Structure formats: C-alpha cells, structure tokens
Amino acid sequence: MTTPNKTPPGADPKQLERTGTVREIGSQAVWSLSSCKPGFGVDQLRDDNLETYWQSDGSQPHLVNIQFRRKTTVKTLCIYADYKSDESYTPSKISVRVGNNFHNLQEIRFVVEPFWSWYLVARCSRAVASAAAALVAA
C-alpha cells in the first residue's frame, strides 16, 4: 500500500506545468471508461473544471483506461478527488496499473485513503514505459 503525495497548497498540476515542473501528456492518449452516466464522461474528467467529474454507471470495478499510441514515459500521475464534496462517489481505493497491453498490466501503486485534493498517485522512481494504463477506482 502506498500513500499518495498530496501536492502543496496551490500547487495543482496546471501551476506545476506553468513552472516547467511537469508536462501534461494526457492529450496524447486515448481515454476510455468502464461506464459513465450521460454528461459525466471523459470530457468532464479531462476538463480543467474541478466542479465537473466522471460518474460511473455500472458495477465495480470502475475503470479509467489511458492508452498511448506508442510507448510513453509516465513519471507522475495527478488525480483530483474531493471526498468532502461527495463521499458516495469519491473512490476510497485507487490502483494504478501499467503495461504494453491490457493483458499484461501490472499494478505499480495501490492507494487506500479518503481523497480531498490533488494527489501525486503514481510517482515512479524510474520512468514507466507504457502503451496502456488503467486506473481502478472502487
């Protein structure tokens, strides 16, 4: 079990990107969800508005799949969740898995904690080359 690194107050990924600390590469990937309610899908998950979100509409596990077209180095994965806003829909467990395809995904992080801010969930000491990644929220 790994504890996520809560970003310092005010240090959200957009601010980190402006300072050159991180680079957003999510736009280079194809995103898919295990399920979603109408109006609560990938577009809401990926927009810059913390008031919008993805809401699943199916049985667990709830999956966010991020697939890059070619091998891509991912050093940090930032996730925002707000348990205080809506505990019934905020994940209590997050599993981060990487691999070359969906059949060989290996878990690199497993986090159990109530979330209420930006978290650096998958900070790897070495770069992870991945063609596919899956976030499992439960």
Are the C-beta atoms of 93 and 61 separated by less than 8 Å? Answer: no
Q: For the chain, give the mean pLDDT.
A: 74
Instruction: Between 99 and 127, name the one with better pLDDT.
Output: 99
pLDDT at 79 over 60: yes
State the pLDDT at residue 123. 52
Instruction: Between 40 and 60, name the one with better pLDDT.
Output: 40
Residue 42 to residues 37, 52, 80, 126, 129: CA-CA distances in angstroms? Answer: 11, 11, 14, 28, 23
